[in-house]
């Protein structure tokens, strides 16, 4: 069974600085998706960034980027120029497979989350 591990329960960063959140996962599959979700106090899960396992290039979305190391099964999130609005719980999630074939387990497997505080 696939598992997702986030080893940093809490992180803190100064406004305008850069922070990296860690995520590792375990799977025997070769084709899958990885996601980072943000959950602010409003509790809605917001998709921050996604990575397809078959793509070697690391995904980037504005100030957010990932370091995807498939062989090491590592998927870290880097937040540059941190802003007060980035303060939230961040979840790493795994999904496989890519098909919607019958019997496929198309569910998201989440890590335990990292609570990010941004200091002014």
Partner 1 sequence: KAGVTQTPRYLIKTRGQQVTLSCSPISGHRSVSWYQQTPGQGLQFLFEYFSETQRNKGNFPGRFSGRQFSNSRSEMNVSTLELGDSALYLCASSRPPLDWGYTFGSGTRLTVV
CA-to-CA dists, residue 48 to 27, 28, 34, 55, 120, angstroms = 22, 25, 11, 18, 22
Q: How far is the CB of 89 from partner 1 (least distance, A)?
A: 10
Q: Which is nearer to partner 1, 3 or 18 (CB)?
A: 3
Residue with tokens 């979840």: 91
Q: Which is nearer to partner 1, 86 or 111 (CB)?
A: 111
Q: Which is nearer to partner 1, 82 or 96 (CB)?
A: 96
Q: Which is nearer to partner 1, 26 or 81 (CB)?
A: 26
HSE of 61 in the Cβ direction (CA atoms, 13 Å)?
Answer: 11
Q: How far is the CB of 3 from partner 1 (least distance, A)?
A: 12
How many Å apart are CA 114 and CA 24, to the nearest integer? 13
Contact positions vs partner 1 (CB under 8 A) = 33, 35, 37, 42-47, 50, 91, 95, 98-100, 102, 104-110, 112-113
Q: Do residues 22 and 6 touch, judged by C-beta distance below 8 A?
A: yes
Q: How far is the CB of 95 from partner 1 (least distance, A)?
A: 7
Q: How far is the CB of 88 from partner 1 (least distance, A)?
A: 13
Q: Which helix (DSSP H) or strand (DSSP E) does residue 102 occupy? A: none
């Amino acid at each position: 069974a696939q598992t997702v591990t986030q080893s940093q329960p809490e992180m803190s960063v100064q406004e305008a600085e850069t922070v990296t959140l860690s995520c590792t996962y375990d799977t025997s599959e070769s084709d899958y998706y990885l996601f980072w979700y943000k959950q602010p106090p409003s509790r809605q899960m917001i998709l921050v960034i996604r990575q397809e396992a078959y793509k070697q290039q690391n995904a980037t979305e504005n100030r957010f980027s990932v370091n995807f190391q498939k062989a090491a099964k590592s998927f870290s999130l880097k937040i540059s120029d941190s802003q007060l609005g980035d303060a939230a719980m961040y979840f790493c999630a795994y999904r496989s497979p890519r098909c919607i074939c019958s019997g496929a387990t198309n569910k998201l497997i989440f890590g335990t989350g990292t609570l990010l505080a941004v200091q002014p």
